Amino acid sequence: MRLVDTFKASLDPYLFRLYRRYLYSRYKATDELAQAEVVHEKAKESLLKMTDKFRQNMTYFDPGDQLAVEIENYELKSPVGIAAGFDKNCEVLRPTSYVFGFLNPGSVLKNPNIGNPQRPKSEGTVRIVVDDERKAIINAQGYPHKGLDYTISNLRKFMGGSRGNAKILLNFSGITDIYAEDAVLDSCKEILVRSAPHIDFGFEENRTSPNTDFNKVLQTPDFTKKIIDLMNTHIPGKVKASKISPYSKLPPSDEEKKSKLKSIKIFYENGGQMVTLGNTRSVDTKSTRLCRNFAREVAGESGKPLFPYMLKLVEDVHRAFPDIMIVACGGIFSGQDAWKAYEKGATLLSLYTALTFYGFGVVRDIHDVLKRKLGSETLQDFIEKRDSRLR
């Protein structure tokens, strides 16, 4: 497929479905990567080749002043971001910076990590599958990452070169081979200190991955206080965000709701300013047909099925903490979905799975629908009026 066709396909959902079908017919699993991972890497290669095309056509994704949002002392030109997981190693920052208002690369780790084991080609064991029927991705990757040194190198190149308007909200995890709280905090400290000079927006701490066992130990009020204290000390002036997993069921139990709100309360009252809600829900792989070849019993599901879980969590958090900023992330596939998230309390929006099914045209659709719904009002005014009703 020629470059110009690939670029057009990235903008048109119908053409993108054809291009996606081509990628899955062309590229198969290796003994290191499942098919979905191979396809994702090939798509990133194409994306890099199209960097100049995105730069030349960046006005296509420019929503104008109406959708600009103020976050602390920062202004984002668009409220739509690309979620963590899409660009784990900060490899496609330049092309995506011409499309989104903010980028959420990561999760960044201190040391290189191959992730959870798999042998897709020889044994058939995998750690990620795509559910085309439900428009979902189920993964138990376990934080594969090329390490902090590689990330810093890419961030430095991005900040020093030509780029679009998007700002960086770096997603990070302190998970290491040593399963101890102090080791996690030391790892987080090094990530924050070394990457801070190259980050122009903020940081998002991540303890939510359901396929990394030690994360369960870290999801306590005590550790939440430790992580926000660490962020306050080492990244003053940057926006500080916490990633919160969606509810496990609807309606949520009183216990689960109380637990999530307690964690957010500690984070917020000790200096945290923003929460990212709901992009990966824990699922039992043994009861899911598509995951029968997973080695792990638990994985994370993202995509369209998460939408009602995300909306309910956004609503509950917004009612409890009307002043905290919320990134709605989970199952947003259209402008109508985006507007529903704003009605429930969102400040920003973040996409991943929708992009892998429909391409970057989803961003333009969201911009167009939001502007139509807002009429003559700006998004900033809408947010301020909405939030004032709960104060």
Domains and CATH numbers, the chain: 3-388 (3.20.20.70)
Percent of the chain with pLDDT over 70: 98
Q: Quick one: pLDDT at residue 3?
A: 42
Segment 256-260 shows an average pLDDT of 95
pTM of structure: 0.95
CA 94 distance to own-chain centroid: 17
Structure tokens at 328: 């709605």
Given a cut of 60, is residue 260 above it in pLDDT? yes
Position 1 pLDDT exceeds 70: no
What gap in Å lies between CA 313 and CA 64, rounded to an integer? 30
Cα 202 to the center of its chain, rounded Å: 14
Structural tokens at position 70? 């103020």
**What is the structure's pLDDT at 110?**
97
Residues 318 and 349 sit within 8 Å (Cβ to Cβ): no
197, 239 Cβ separation under 8 angstroms: no
DSSP assignment of 324-361 equals SEEEEESS--SHHHHHHHHHHT-SEEEESHHHHHH-TH
Q: How far apart are CA 371 and CA 338, in angstroms?
A: 11
Mean pLDDT of the chain: 94
- For the residues 15-37, what does the mean pLDDT come to? 94
CA distance 326 to 170: 16
